[in-house]
Amino acid sequence: MNEHEEALEPEVLEPEQAAGAPAVADDVLPDTLYLMPVPNRPFFPGQVQPVGMNPQEWASTLKAVADSGTRLIGLSYVPPGENGEIDIRRFPEIGCAVRLHRPPGGADQPGQFMAQGLRRFRIVRWLNDKPPFLVQVEYPRSQGEKDSDEIKAYAMALIKAIKELLPLNPLYSEELKQYLSNFSPNQPSLLADFSAALTTASGEQLQEILDTLPLRSRMEKVLTLLRKEREVAELQGQITSQVNDKVSDQQREFFLREQLKIIQKELGISKDDRTSDADMFEERIAGLELPEVVAKRIDDELQKLSVLETGSPEYGVTRNYLDWATSVPWGVHSEDNLDLKHARGVLAEHHDGLEDVKERILEFLAVGSFKGEIAGSIMLLVGPPGVGKTSIGRSVADALGREFCRFSLGGMRDEAEIKGHRRTYVGAMPGKFVQALKEVKVSNPVIMLDEIDKIGASYQGDPASALLEVLDPEQNSEFLDHYLDLRVDLSKVLFICTANQLDTIPGPLLDRMEVTRLSGYVAEEKLAIARNHLWPRQLERHGLGEDQLKINDAGLKYVIDSYCREAGVRNLEKQLSRIMRKSIVRMLDTGEEKLRVGKKDIDDLLGKPHFMPDKPVRGLGVATGLAWTAMGGATLAIESSQIHTLNRGFKLTGRLGETMRESAEIAYSYVIAHLKDYGCDRDFFDMSMVHLHVPEGATPKDGPSAGITMATALVSLARKERIKRPLAMTGELTLTGQVLPVGGIREKVIAARRSKIMELILPHANRRDFEELPEYLREGINVHFARNYREVFEFVFHEHRKDKSLH
């Protein structure tokens, strides 16, 4: 049956006209009502509850109701507007007429009045559209047969739905008791309205119930609201139950733990947190040899810990301090292994080449063996990347039998990283050296400071200055860490620092270290390193056995000569790793279990060679120089050319630094001043625009060591005579023609061997540096030592003058 059919059914009396209720005749309810909007939800017939309002805003309406003598008012659901203004167009057609039982204005609750819902009303016509709102109304009746079986079934369904809600929320029980005390459950219209008012539905949904006059349709809609209400109540109950269970479990666990602590404490089985912490710290210091000042400070902190509450922030700060102070290995030293034979074997096993560095380390160990102890020392290993500086530090620790700790200083900008933060800061920690001592658990480890030339500085301080105290053997016995505020003895620590260059290390810091230079490797050394160290290590990393993949010496040498000409071996290891990866792919594709790699296979595995066989640049005005770089030694072909003969001029290119430009100007001036001495045309430079260029323009170059090379290139250009044999040179030239010594002789000799140039010209003052080189570096090299440029000229252009040379 639809709503249109319901509208044709007999009318049902409202509750006031039903049997057993006080009769309210139609003519008792007035045909005009003063209206008041309710903002939250509509009012239903049969409801008895307080209604809130603003007494100042609705004073005129309440006064008009009081003057009428009926104590009746109409309540309509009107949601609040944007500006708080009330528009009569927003009033719904259906509202509820109520009787005021407790008029507003009382001293206890001036903004409320008690209302009893009587009947629905429908607005017929507005009589006054300004407060007090006055409308002409009619009172529509509910439509449907209240005694029909269908209505009774709906009523029973409503009562059942309400009963299902009762266990879920005790408020529903109170509402039901109030309803039963005032009305009969046999009144379906009132039951439907009460059930709707019982829910937490929105105002719009409840207004729809109020607007529905057909009884069956109204009861269907109310049943839907009750069903949703039950689902929400059940979900709320589940959430509340879960929260209560969790809280109760936590409370139960808390009480049980507290009881357990008390029981264990009474039986002497356990201690509280504070006592446990204190006992742990005392146990730590039992095996340490604490200086008097340190022992007193720790005792003071332990006493402070005993009176602090465990939950206070100060307790955490004190406990953290004691944790660090008792973790420092005060007076704990490891025993050194001073056996030189063992040390020599460890160094030989870990490294090929670097004989001078190994000799320096053995001298250091020999002194310690002679004295019976090895005092702290500071060594600085300087060399290009990939030559094994960091690994040498670990080898020294293994040779001595000492603990090893390494950290990098590259990019460090905060001096607190070195000396620690003061305890006043949140999250304060000791410096790196105290952390290292805690990690190794002895006071005489080997500590490696990597990349000391890349240390930074900022507004937070200068870490390089903070290192002055650490790396000074006269001061580091009383190194003060800001966090501990205690003197820590670092004099027994062996410090090994590494750097790529010395230019960026502050002078005072460099003065405190013993500098040992590591040059690059020649091809023979790289071959030994690859065969003995790099290849076995890469086999292990790739999960290959020695028999599964092999490479012959010819293949290794081809990789070294054609792909890896840098000073170190790091790139060589990368290329060997690449060979293994590609070989594994080939083995999986072909199903082979073993693979052999030779020289002919390298191009397929690594691609085209990066370096072609060296062909020294020769020609008129070209001379080969030797240079030192942070990546090792290098050969540079310096070229000079006569551009035109229109006017005199001199041009320099090649990203040259200030010092190198000065060397070029000196060479140019010296050659012009001595044209006659060297058999040149006196007017050559007067009528020539000369361009001097140093190739590899992408690489910045600086230093005075190319002075004689530039002069030789200019002399070759002026004499119109080319250098006829492979020859390289290095040396600083003065305006008077003196050849001054330069640095980096080892790197430059290695660069010459790498380029297969076996005849060199060096400053006479560098004779000692050359003679100190290992025999395998000097073998086969023909070196001329020059005191002045006249000797350089004789060696270059008068090949028969070899009586002054050293073979």
pLDDT surpassing 80 at residue 323: yes
State how beta strands 739-740 and 732-733 pair: antiparallel
Q: What is the pLDDT of residue 270?
A: 52
Burial class of residue 369 (count of CB atoms within 10 Å of its CB; 0-12, 13-18, 19+): middle
- In the predicted model, what is the mean pLDDT of residues 146-172? 77
| Global pTM exceeds 0.75 | no
Distance CA(636)–CA(699), nearest Å, equals 11
User: Rounded CA gap, 231 and 262, in Å?
Assistant: 46
pLDDT at 109 over 60: no
Asked if pLDDT for residue 543 goes beyond 60, the answer is yes
Helices 292-307/313-325 angle, 10° precision: 150
Of residues 578 and 350, more confidently modeled: 578
Whether pLDDT at 186 is above 90: no
**Whether pLDDT at 24 is above 50:** no
| pLDDT one-digit tens code per residue, 664-721 | 999 999 999 988 888 888 888 888 899 999 887 556 777 788 899 999 999 999 888 8
Report which of 221, 171, 229 is spatially closest to residue 199, judged by C-alpha positions.
229
The predicted structure's pLDDT at residue 184: 60
Q: How confident is the model at residue 789 (pLDDT cuts 50, 70, 90)?
A: very high
Long-range interactions of 262-265: CB distance < 8 A, separation 24+: none
pLDDT band with cut points at 50, 70 and 90 for residue 417 = confident
How many Cα atoms within 13 Å fall on the side-chain side of residue 256? 6
In whole numbers, what is the pLDDT of the chain averaged over residues? 81
Name residue, tokens 């091809």. 523
Q: Which DSSP category does 44 fall into?
A: -
Give the residue numbers marked as catalytic: 705, 748
- Helix, strand and coil percent figures for the chain, each rounded to 5: 45, 20, 35
* Highest averaged pLDDT of the listed ranges 183-187, 189-193, 252-256: 189-193
Most confident of 139-143, 183-187, 349-353: 139-143
Tokens standing for 259? 């009881």
**What is the C-alpha separation between 756 and 725, in angstroms, rounded?**
12
Cα distance between residue 66 and residue 63, in whole Å: 5
Q: Comparing 314-318, 329-333, 425-429, 457-461, which segment has the lowest mean pLDDT?
A: 457-461
Give me the amino acid identity at 178: Q
Please report the pLDDT score of residue 313 as a whole number.
81
- Which tokens go with 715? 């002399």
* Peptide bond before residue 430 is cis, with ω within 30 degrees of 0: no
Spatial neighbors of 33 by CB under 8 A, at least 6 apart, are 72, 73, 74, 97, 121, 134, 135, 137
Structure-token pair, residue 467: 């290192």
Find, among 160, 54, 139, the residue nearest to 94 by Cα: 139
Q: Which uninterrupted H or E stretch holds 66?
A: helix 59-68
Residue 805: beta bridge partners? Answer: 784
